Amino acid sequence: MPVLEVEGLVTHYLTKQGPVDAVSGVSFTVDAGQTFGLAGESGCGKTTIALSIMGLLPSNGRVMGGRIILDGEDLLGKDEKELREVRWRKVSIVFQGAMNALNPVINVGEQIAEVIIEKEGVRKDEAWNRVRELFDLVELEPDRVTDYPHEFSGGMRQRVMIAMALANYPKLVIADEPITALDVIVQNQILDLMKNLQGRLNLSQILITHDLSVIAETCDKVGIMYAGKLMEYGEAAPIFKTPLHPYTSALIGAYPSIVGEKRDLKFIPGAPPNLINPPTGCRFHPRCPHAQEICGQEEPEYREESLGHYTACHFVEELRDTLRLGGH
Amino acid sequence: MTVEVHSTEPIERERFSASIRRLKEFWALYKTSKIGMFGLLLVLAFIVIALLAPWVAPYDPRALVGRPFLPPMEGHPLGTDQVGRDIYSQLLWGSRISLMVGLLASAFSVAIGTAIGLLSGYFRGPLDSILMRITDLFITLPSIPLMLILAAILGRSVWNIIFVIAITGWTGTARMVRAQTLSIKERPYVEAARSVGARDSQIMFRHILPNIVPLIFANAIVGIVNAILSESGLSFLGLGDPTKPSWGLILRYANEAGAMATGRLWFIIPPGVCIMLIAIGFAFSSYSLDEILNPRLRERRG
Amino acid sequence: MSEELVVRNLKKWFARSRGLFSREQEYVKAVDDISFEIEKGQVLCLAGESGCGKTTTGRLILRLVEPTEGSVSLRGVDIFTLKKEELREKRREMQMIFQDPYESLDPRMDVFSILAEPLEVNRIASGYGELRERVHKALEDVRLVPVEEFIRRFPHELSGGQRQRVAIARALMLEPTFIVADEPVSMLDASIRTEILNLLKELREKYDLTFLYITHDIAQARYVGDDLMVMYLGRVVEKGPMEDVILEPLHPYTKALISNVPVPDPEAQRERIPLTGETPTPIDLPEGCRFHPRCCEAGERCSQVEPGLVKVGNDRWVACHVQAATPTRANNI
């Protein structure tokens, strides 16, 4: 049984100008011990998905439909009290920029212990023991549990955040842009750590990032988000090697590579759409170089094109070869 | 591909129409706040009264037009004061004093504060140290006794009152402007201006001032409230201009004449109510202004 | 000589008091004695991790910050010797494109004013007519058309990519020959970056510009640059033609850095060189080579003497005792 099953998730933000269709029918599963990469550019809805799962949407956010089944239980049917039981114990999150949001006047050990005590009601000394264990787990010196946030470097603070996310030994960790602010060498240290922990603790992860290179190197399954919808979903290797959606292909092509032949980079003209009034038909069609009339009229069906590989496009067959060869 | 330039309007007019656009947006936002509209209404009401006082007031406020201590009656909606002057006329004319002192004193104190804060924050170094010492000095001096002393020394005139209020009220603005200047000075767009060769004066006037004007403005409105209350207080204490019918002065006479004790409430309550209403008017407006100016600055990103 | 920019022994040390109550001074050696040249029409990429000194170097070169020591000569003239007015004139030849498209444009100025400013403060244009003409041309250069639509807009009415185009247009207003681009696309989405990078390439061709392109993203550097220079803790550790440095890095730090750059290909088999710990801050630097505590190739000399930047081949430089001494290198000149 998968750890997480999201089915047809729809989330809106209510604004003065009207409801923003931030997540519009997204489905994916995360199996035990797996890393699922949710990729997409800013505004595509990936953070909203994370907040919907955690039940931490801002006051104007509403889940309008779908199911979120974590470890067999539908989270959307729960009230705040029940959610608080689930939150941090079965699923936890490392927020974007969280490493800079640590309370500067409380030492880090205290901050993690707080989470443990609050969630499990254990005694203080037991909580502190676990904090030391967690530090060991994330490769920080256990002696440093009483240090303050400013005494750690960026990468180390991120390890602290990971420790905090693991404090109650959840089954699923959601990491929203966990390494964006860090240098490449430290990035890889953190990614290695998370991979390592995944193995040791049989942890599942959702890695949310805009950086496709990072996704390519760490994720088992990938979902490419655009304007609130999943454009493509499946195992990482086929998606990168034989992308079926023009957006995926263009996005991969927009990343310069340090290996291989130097090639021209792809670019996508225009900008992501306003989600109060999303485009008719396929949401990507205004910017798609292969768009035809039907793309603006009818929304393409989201289908399984090959084993475990899903996409929504009217011209999958016609574009298969073009996209594979890196054409645009 | 060259684009035909159709517009023959000079640059200034284009920039002006951009400002108009911004004002319209601002007004649309302001209108949505009930508190702000209510405050604005009060302020406008008093401004109208102040402007029309010479024509609307039935009597010259300084003229003796009846027996003293007349209760409200025909011809004298609020009765007469202790020497026989019409209270209603004094009240109407009093709005002129309050508004004039309020607006001018606030304007001057904001001007002084801005100049000091801007120079201090921009140039740093010894100039900053000196100006900030002076500011600290003025902050530590208790303003009310200072006002009293200065008013007593300088003599009782409206302009002296304005001076006194301005000279004791600029420190808040100075500090705020300095803080903002320090912050804006470090912004990339200021660095960009320097890299294209802008001089210090050009940077101050093109980049720093325009970006702090909205906050100065909000400060100024609050300053008006303080100035009006200060003026009323000073007049009440007898330091105001005895020839000008200020609300504070009316309160003073009412108090001296024991209006409360003798039940002559028409004498003592109206001026107090007026002071309160005009202060509320400005305070509510500034509350609404703050709401608009702050989140909007945040909204501007991305 | 066709050198556009010559930097010699450039240093920038920031003084700080050690601790809250101490009167002792310590120095943050942000830029610690670097020298290099850029030929006319070349794009030199300056790469390194945060804290290596690349951003400070960029600002020193434009004299937006005063140096502790050293010289920066633009076409033979040392800009640090110029007085205020002379500097203002010289500035017209060298401009900067800043990193943050949200902060490098004054939010209260419309696009026209932003682009007119360089001309106005230098009193260049001979009237509104010329001003307008030049602003229009600049917008066309960066392909923000129709021009009429964009000149009235304010920064918050533009997308990130559009703002950056305005920033580029502004940098071109004074018709400079040399441009420092400080991470110009790192805050933009991937799909928009390409447009901007291609635009920069195009403008470089069109106006024969020389670039110092600062970035932490080496893959991006590869796409735009001719040469690559890597900095670590305030010093240059390696410099050379882009493809050479990337395919055959010499300095151990460069090797590690390049091996750690992620690649958008899940099946790419790459040998990653891990480094222990994190890059320290440029205070309290170790004796000898500042990289030696983390270096797997370090020898005895490395902890004693700081290596200088040494030429090891045709336009190939490295600051490393071990590499400089390798016989194969010396023979390849």
Touching partners of C (3+ C-beta pairs < 8 Å) = A, B
Residues 53-82 of C with CB under 8 A from A: none
Residue A139: inside a domain, yes or no? no
CB proximity B296 to C under 8 Å:
no
User: What pLDDT, on a 0 to 100 scale, did the predictor assign at position B8?
Assistant: 45
Residue A315: inside a domain, yes or no? yes
Q: Do A41 and C190 touch (CB under 8 A)?
A: yes
User: What pLDDT, on a 0 to 100 scale, did the predictor assign at position C276?
Assistant: 80
Task: Dump pLDDT digits (tens) for B177-210.
Answer: 999 999 999 999 999 999 999 999 999 999 999 8
Q: Do C272 and A188 touch (CB under 8 A)?
A: yes
Q: Do A216 and C257 touch (CB under 8 A)?
A: no
Give B136 or B76, the one with higher predicted confidence.
B136
Highest mean pLDDT among B54-63, B82-91, B107-116, B270-279: B107-116
In C, minimum Cα distance to B208 occurs at: C106
CB proximity C260 to A under 8 Å:
yes
pLDDT at position B235 over 50: yes
Which one of C107, C110, C173 has the shortest CB-CB distance to B18?
A: C110
B197's torsion region: left (phi>0), alpha (psi -120 to 50) or beta? Answer: left
Handedness of CA C240, C244, C245, C248 (dihedral sign): negative
CB proximity B301 to C under 8 Å:
yes
Please, which pLDDT band fits residue B301 given cuts at 50, 70 and 90? very low
pLDDT at position B95 over 80: yes
Task: Dump pLDDT digits (tens) for C266-305.
Answer: 887 788 888 887 788 888 788 888 998 888 888 888 888 8
Show Cβ contacts of residue C26 under 8 Å, excluding neighbours closer than 6 positions. C15, C16, C17, C18, C283, C284
Q: Write out chain B residues lying below 8 Å of C108, CB-based.
A: 210-211
CA dist B23 and B38 (Å) reads: 19
**Proportion of chain A in helix, strand, coil states, percent, rounded to 5:** 40, 25, 35
Q: Do B11 and C104 touch (CB under 8 A)?
A: no
- Divide the 333 residues of chain C into consecutive groups of 10 and give the mean pLDDT of each group: 86 82 81 93 93 92 94 93 91 93 90 93 85 93 90 89 95 95 90 91 94 94 95 94 93 92 84 82 84 86 88 90 68 44
Mean pLDDT of chain B: 84
SS3 A128: helix
User: What pLDDT, on a 0 to 100 scale, did the predictor assign at position A203?
Assistant: 92
Task: Dump pLDDT digits (tens) for C77-92.
Answer: 999 999 988 999 999 9
CA angle in degrees (0–180, nearest 5) for C199-C203-C205: 120
User: What pLDDT, on a 0 to 100 scale, did the predictor assign at position C265?
Assistant: 85
The β-bridge relationship of strands A309-312 and C3-17 is unpaired
**Token match 């009060």: residue?**
B42
Which one of C246, C258, C266 has the shortest CB-CB distance to A236?
A: C266
Domains of chain B: 75-287 (1.10.3720.10)
Q: Which segments in chain A show pLDDT lower than 50?
A: 328
Task: Dump pLDDT digits (tens) for B4-46.
Answer: 344 445 556 666 776 787 788 788 888 888 888 999 999 999 9
Q: Write out chain C residues lying below 8 Å of B2, CB-based.
A: 140
Residues 154-173 of C with CB under 8 A from A: 159, 161
Phi, psi of A102 (to 5 degrees): -65, 145
Q: Do C64 and B210 touch (CB under 8 A)?
A: no
A-C Cβ pairs (cutoff 8 Å, strict)? 117
User: What pLDDT, on a 0 to 100 scale, did the predictor assign at position B15?
Assistant: 67
Residue A30: inside a domain, yes or no? no
Alpha-carbon distances of A247 from A223, A228, A235, C188, rounded to whole Å: 12, 13, 17, 17
Highest mean pLDDT among A248-262, B52-66, B98-112: B98-112
Residue B274's nearest CA partner among B293, B248, B244, B253 is: B248
Residue A290: inside a domain, yes or no? yes
Residue B107's nearest CA partner among B222, B200, B186, B199 is: B222
Retrieve residue B199's tokens. Answer: 């001089």
Measure in Å the smallest separation between the Cα of A219 and chain C Cα atoms. Answer: 8
CB proximity C265 to A under 8 Å:
yes
Q: Do C110 and B7 touch (CB under 8 A)?
A: no
User: What pLDDT, on a 0 to 100 scale, did the predictor assign at position C243?
Assistant: 94
Residue A274: inside a domain, yes or no? yes
Q: Write out chain C residues lying below 8 Å of A153, CB-based.
A: 278
Domains of chain C: 3-93+174-259+271-331 (3.40.50.300)
Q: Do A267 and C191 touch (CB under 8 A)?
A: yes
Phi, psi of B7 (to 5 degrees): -70, 130
In which domain, by residue range, is A265 found?
243-328
- Whether the link from the prior residue into B72 is cis, omega within 30° of 0, is no
Task: Dump pLDDT digits (tens) for C2-26.
Answer: 788 999 999 999 988 766 676 777 8
Residue A320: inside a domain, yes or no? yes
**Token match 């001032």: residue?**
B209
SS3 C272: coil
Task: Dump pLDDT digits (tens) for B124-139.
Answer: 999 999 999 999 998 8
pLDDT at position B298 over 70: no
How many Cα atoms occupy the beta-carbon half-sphere of B271 within 13 Å?
30
The H or E element containing residue C238 is strand C235-241
Number of domains comprising chain A = 1
Q: Do B195 and C155 touch (CB under 8 A)?
A: no
Task: Dump pLDDT digits (tens) for A165-192.
Answer: 998 889 999 999 988 888 888 889 899 9
Residue B81's nearest CA partner among B268, B241, B216 is: B268
CB proximity B202 to C under 8 Å:
yes
Provide the β-strand partners of residue C14. C28
Phi, psi of B219 (to 5 degrees): -60, -40
CA dist B289 and B292 (Å) reads: 5
CB proximity C143 to A under 8 Å:
no
pLDDT at position B292 over 80: no
Residue A205: inside a domain, yes or no? no
CB proximity A255 to C under 8 Å:
yes
Residue A279: inside a domain, yes or no? yes
